[in-house]
Amino acid sequence: MKNGLLIVVIIGFTIPLLISCEKFFPPAPADDEVLDGFVEGLSSEQQAQFLAGDVAFNSVFTAETGLGPSFVATSCGSCHPGDGKGHPFTTLIRFGQGDTTGNSYLDNGGPQLQNRAIPAHSPEQLPPGVPFAKFTPPANTGLGFLAALTDAQILANADPNDVNGDGISGIPNYLTPPSYFQPQSYQQNFGGKYIGRFGKKAAAITLLHQTVNAYVQDIGVTSEFAMSEPSIYNGTNPTPDNVPDPEVDGATVQNVVFYLRTLKAPIQRSPDNADAIAGKQLFLNANCGKCHIPQWTTPQSDIAALSNKTFYPYTDLLLHDMGSELDDGYTEGSAKTSEWRTPPLWGIGLAKNSQGGQYFLLHDGRAITIHDAIMVHGGEAANSKNQYKQLSETDKQRLIKFLETR
């Protein structure tokens, strides 16, 4: 009788094990709830390179493998968790440039402050009285689509002299490229300068440019593209670490770039939500879409999965004067101190899931709600902000609902 019980217990326990395991496993989060994942249509070879890049993006550097000596964080994934926006814990500081003539601290600690250091080394201190700004890490999704656009497409929306009189005068950031830069057919040469697309001030021309700088400035990791450790303000002779340079190999850097190019675009959630549909109209009526341009289509690309694709990033990749409240007195390239690149708004509704349960919006994470972020829009966006201000409370909520479903 009791033996029977034993057998029942054992069978009762192992049967579910053998048959319906899936029921007992945590389900995968829905595709539209996560930012990680690759674009549709990659070949298996491309998927393998994506995975190699994914591993490198999340691999942690230690003092033994090249971290520092001074650094801000230990991996790309520490600042862009789940490929999403980062937390003030990893907000970084850039300094040393107060106008469009360039950064005067490049050989003396600039452009970035490495506020942390491996044991037995000193972190960098901000030079007194220097212009600086804080940068909170943005999301990394869908960048391949933005990278695939031609300069001509971006320039089509530029209106530096506001010829159309709408008060909005987008302008690209023109930059001197780094030595390893190889111009592509979709890029134009403006007297030796090229258009920047990435970063808060659009100061990185390509994803390679952004990645190389991230390795060396954010993590203190040298690559064949940037062989010196980040310089330290007043550190006449910063003690190097014991790891031979380059600390990351060129193939790994290229894998990370491929990963960034092929990360999927955020997937729109609840597209049929009535409030979101109404919110979209309010967004367009308030001229938000003049800078946060909803829709783009890529031309032919060397990655087939990115060719001729329509996507919805809500950006124009151009710089705009955002008024005095957002003017920190620091700048990069040909941008003015009050100018910021329109950030893509796709995936913004998922930001809380990577920022620790709370929003930290705008370039320095100062806005903790979408409403707050809109309310500090000034300069070229002042009209637009005022139109938003005049909306009823319900309509404001609809507009925000719309953004949260992007």
Alpha-carbon distance of 75 to 29, in angstroms, equals 24
Which is closer to ligand HEC, CB of 34 or CB of 257?
257
String marking each residue 299-338 x if it binds other proteins according to CB under 8 A: ----------------------------------------
Across-strand partners of 193?
190
Taking CA 262 as the corner, what is the angle to CA 33 and CA 207, rounded to the nearest 5 degrees? 115
Is 319 strand, coil or helix?
Answer: strand
Q: Which residue has the tokens 């002299």?
A: 161
The DSSP secondary structure of 41-73, one letter per residue, reads T--HHHHHHHHHHHHHHHPPP-GGGT--SEES-
Taking CA 240 as the corner, what is the angle to CA 234 and CA 243, rounded to the nearest 5 degrees? 155
Which is closer to other proteins, CB of 117 or CB of 361?
117
Q: Identify residues 48-107 at the interface with other proteins (CB under 8 A).
A: 59-60, 62-64, 67, 71, 73-75, 78, 81-82, 87-89, 91
- The site for ligand HEC (CB under 6 A) is made up of 57, 72-73, 76, 78-80, 86, 90, 92, 135, 137-138, 140, 143, 168, 198-201, 203, 207, 210-211, 214-215, 218-219, 256, 260, 283, 286-288, 290-292, 320, 322, 326, 340, 342-343, 345, 348, 361-363, 370, 373-374, 377, 380-381, 384-385, 388, 403
Query: In terms of Cα–Cα distance, which of 107, 179, 192, 149 is closest to 318?
Result: 149
> Which of other proteins, ligand HEC, none interacts with 10 (beta carbon under 5 to 8 A by kind)?
other proteins
Alpha-carbon distance of 347 to 340, in angstroms, equals 19
Q: Least distance to other proteins from the beta carbon of 221, Å?
A: 14
Alpha-carbon distance of 404 to 350, in angstroms, equals 8
241 near 230, Cβ under 8 Å?
no
Which is closer to ligand HEC, CB of 200 or CB of 309?
200
Q: Least distance to other proteins from the beta carbon of 36, Å?
A: 10
Q: Least distance to ligand HEC from the beta carbon of 16, Å?
A: 43
Going through 69-111 in order, the beta strands assigned E by DSSP cover: 70-71, 92-95
252 near 56, Cβ under 8 Å?
yes
Alpha-carbon distance of 45 to 51, in angstroms, equals 10
**Cα within 13 Å of Cα(124), Cβ side:** 34
String marking each residue 352-371 x if it binds other proteins according to CB under 8 A: -xxxxxx-------------
> Which of other proteins, ligand HEC, none interacts with 116 (beta carbon under 5 to 8 A by kind)?
other proteins
Alpha-carbon distance of 202 to 60, in angstroms, equals 27
Which is closer to other proteins, CB of 64 or CB of 249?
64
> Which of ligand HEC, other proteins, none interacts with 63 (beta carbon under 5 to 8 A by kind)?
other proteins
Q: Identify residues 105-124 at the interface with other proteins (CB under 8 A).
A: 116-123
Cα 315 to Cα 259, 326, 355: the distances in Å are 21, 18, 21
> Which of other proteins, ligand HEC, none interacts with 60 (beta carbon under 5 to 8 A by kind)?
other proteins
Q: Least distance to ligand HEC from the beta carbon of 242, Å?
A: 21
> Which of ligand HEC, other proteins, none interacts with 281 (beta carbon under 5 to 8 A by kind)?
none
Q: Least distance to other proteins from the beta carbon of 355, Å?
A: 7
Q: Which two tokens stand for residue 185?
A: 């057919």
Length of the chain measured in residues: 406
Q: Least distance to ligand HEC from the beta carbon of 90, Å?
A: 4
> Which of other proteins, ligand HEC, none interacts with 317 (beta carbon under 5 to 8 A by kind)?
none
Q: Which positions ≥6 away from 116 have C-beta within 8 Å?
A: 68, 70, 71, 72, 73, 123
Q: Contact positions toward other proteins, by CB under 8 A?
A: 2-3, 5-6, 9-10, 13-14, 17, 21-22, 24-29, 59-60, 62-64, 67, 71, 73-75, 78, 81-82, 87-89, 91, 116-123, 353-358
